[in-house]
Amino acid sequence: MDKPLKAELQAAIASYPVAVQQQVLRLRAEIQAVAASSEGVGELLETLKWGELSFVTEQSKSGSTLRVAWQTKQPEYLGLYVNCKTSLVDSYQTLFPGLFVYQKQRALLLPLNQAWPLAELRICIAMALRYHLDKRKH
């Protein structure tokens, strides 16, 4: 189900250390799988925002943009970034207190040197991809 990466996305990922590149591709595959199995999400547009791999629910407008990025100022983590104007990070912290490292209203930080709690991570991804859909329901 892995879609081929566009050249500009490949270049952005290639700028990271090799071990980080593998984790970026792993997280990308999780995001794609969650999108495919989440009702109402539809096709994801993969693009670059601020030079970072981004996932947009452009057709369905069901969710908030997700970005995946590694930064040298926090080299031990891979960031899953959301729009800071959403309540997503607050919701993640309420659902999973202490399970992830959270960065203000911006991100969920995934450690590069240990296994990720995949079931919970998939819930967080789905919440972002369905953010507007679920907001409209309430």
- CATH number for 102: 3.90.1150.200
> What's the pLDDT at 80?
98
Distance (Å, whole) CA 95 – CA 125: 13
Tokens 């309540």 belong to residue = 87
Calculate what percentage of the chain has a pLDDT beyond 90.
83
> What's the pLDDT at 52?
93
> What's the pLDDT at 2?
65
Q: Containing domain of residue 22, as a range?
A: 7-132
Distance (Å, whole) CA 108 – CA 120: 12
Q: What is the pLDDT of residues 88-99, one digit of tens each?
A: 999 999 999 999
Domain count, the chain: 1
32 within a domain of the structure (yes/no): yes
Distance (Å, whole) CA 16 – CA 22: 10
> What's the pLDDT at 138?
54
Residues of the chain with pLDDT under 50: none
Quick one: which H or E segment has residue 54? strand 52-56
CB 127 within 8 A of CB 91: yes
> What's the pLDDT at 4?
84
137 within a domain of the structure (yes/no): no
Q: What is the pLDDT of residues 31-41, one digit of tens each?
A: 999 999 999 99
1 within a domain of the structure (yes/no): no
138 within a domain of the structure (yes/no): no
2 within a domain of the structure (yes/no): no
> What's the pLDDT at 126?
96
